[in-house]
Amino acid sequence: MRPAAGQPAYPGAIMLPVSAVAAVVASTEPAPIVLDIEASGFGPHSYPIEIGFVRADGTAFCTLIRPEPAWQHWDDAAENVHHIPREAAVRCGRSVADVALSLNQQLASATVYSDGWAHDYSWLGTLFEAAGLTPAFRLENLRALLSEQQAEQWHVVKQQVMREMQLQRHRASADARVLQATLLRLHRLKTVAGH
């Protein structure tokens, strides 16, 4: 059954209107594309269950990923953070091939940034390997976009942005939006301070 227009696609999801974050994201510089992945847990047997990103214009993409039959690892502690039951990923997730193709189409030739680069790089590799494809985009560490001073301010500014956005969930596209807005805020502070 499809959800009604404007309703979340699966239980526990919320719709986040772009207008709710426009003031935070507003900036004169182009925003980087920021990606986030939610996973079954950590470690060598973990796999991606949700992927989301926010484009430079603030529009977002997010989808659940249906676990492959061999993907059995599940960590309840990870579920307690992202609140995505395995059953929701199985029931509502898209196939790995569909997700990988969609990412390649939407992100072709782009450089995409992640704050959890080591984990996200591994989970992205797991996704694309299972799909039999190669990413058509490059994943980089968000830290490369920060000066030392900005890196020191990152957590404080991120908390401010999260309070302003009033996000109530830990999900891939919402997390990517927070990361992008935090980066833009730090760059704006640097510009205002004249550094």
In tens, the pLDDT along 45-58 reads: 999 999 999 999 99
- Tell me the mean pLDDT in the region 160-175: 87
The CB-based long-range contact list for 190-193 (8 Å cut-off, 24+ gap) reads: 190/147, 190/149, 190/150
Q: What distances in angstroms separate CA 178 from CA 36, 91, 96, 125, one per listed residue?
A: 10, 27, 26, 24
Residue 40: the pLDDT is 97
Q: What is the pLDDT of residue 192?
A: 56
The pLDDT, as a whole number, for residue 168 is: 66
pLDDT greater than 50 at residue 102: yes
Q: Which amino acid is at 67?
A: P
| Close Cβ partners of 96 (under 8 Å, ≥ 6 residues apart) | 65, 66, 68, 127, 130, 131
For residue 40, how far is the Cα from the chain centroid? 15
Q: Output the pLDDT for position 166.
A: 86
Supply the angle between the helices 172-193 and 148-165 in degrees, to the nearest 10.
Answer: 120
The tokens describing 163, both together, are 């309070």
189 CB burial (10 A radius; 0-12, 13-18, 19+): middle
Q: Is the pLDDT of residue 157 over 80?
A: yes
Of residues 150, 156, 155, 177, the one with CA closest to residue 166: 177
The single residue listed with the structure tokens 């001073």 is 149
Per-residue pLDDT at 189 = 83
Q: What is the pLDDT of residue 58?
A: 92
63 sits in the region (left: phi over 0; alpha: psi -120 to 50; else beta) called: beta
